[in-house]
Amino acid sequence: MEFRLFTDSMIAFDTTPTHSGTLRSTLRLLLGSLALLTTACGAPAGTCDSGTCADGGVLINELAGAGGDFVELFNASDTEADLSGYGLTDFDADAGVRYATSLRFASGTTIAPRGYYTISLEVNCPATVTPCVRGEFGIGQGSGDTLTLLDAQNNTVAQQVYPANAAPSGSSWARVSDGAPDFEAQRRSPGAANAP
């Protein structure tokens, strides 16, 4: 007895012992194809953490709350990311997103594939860090803070907590490597690869 599903080229159930090996091979191939499709349609590796997953692979990659505050964005995808009209902000004292004082990125602001974009907070961008813009809010070092990347409609694109006193002055709270899910206190690397 033989059951044929879909087309002959896709799968065939055949109960004769000589064909059972072929059936197993066919099923393995189909399962392998499904796994590949799932991987291809999922988010790029490393773009999701305990916060909100990034849209298009842009995530908050590094934060400093003392000794010159900054936020580094990283584009974990292989395509350029357009940040026109997007915003970055911290939390208010009542632990809500502070929309009113968010920095807005100018039209035409982009991040290169696997590239960085630094926001220097309350101090001018160091000359050696490009691209970079200045923002007029700080990260709460003693109280902790939450940074939110907003799209042009104020939807949350990415969000990252900075725990209270997460990194000593002069260092930063950074993903252990670019795009990795876990954070640790590191040497500061705005606009460059995260490294211990």
Closest to Ca ion by CB, 97 vs 191, is: 191
Phi, psi of 148 (to 5 degrees): -130, 130
Closest to Ca ion by CB, 27 vs 195, is: 195
Tell me how crowded residue 97 is: count the other CB atoms within 10 A of its CB.
18
Q: Does residue 62 belong to the site contacting Ca ion (CB under 5 A)?
A: yes
Closest to Ca ion by CB, 141 vs 194, is: 194
Residue 85 Cβ, how far from Ca ion at the closest point, in Å?
Answer: 24
Of 86, 82, 66, the residue nearest 158 (C-alpha)? 86
Q: Which positions from 68 to 107 touch Ca ion by CB under 5 A, shown as an x/- string?
A: ----x-----------------------------------
Hunting for tokens 């393995």 — which residue is that?
28
Among the candidate windows 58-66, 81-89, 92-100, 133-141, which touches Ca ion by CB under 5 A?
58-66
Q: Which positions from 155 to 194 touch Ca ion by CB under 5 A, shown as an x/- string?
A: ----------------------------------x----x
Closest to Ca ion by CB, 31 vs 185, is: 185
Closest to Ca ion by CB, 146 vs 189, is: 189
DSSP state of 52: P
Residue 63 Cβ, how far from Ca ion at the closest point, in Å?
Answer: 10
CA distances from 61 to 56, 112, 161, 172 (A): 14, 15, 11, 10
Question: Is the Cβ–Cβ distance between 2 and 15 less than 8 Å?
Answer: yes
The set of residues, in sequence order, having a beta carbon less than 8 Å from that of 139 and lying 6+ positions away, is 63, 64, 65, 69, 71, 90, 121, 145, 147, 162
Residue ranges that bind Ca ion, judged by CB under 5 A: 62, 72, 189, 194
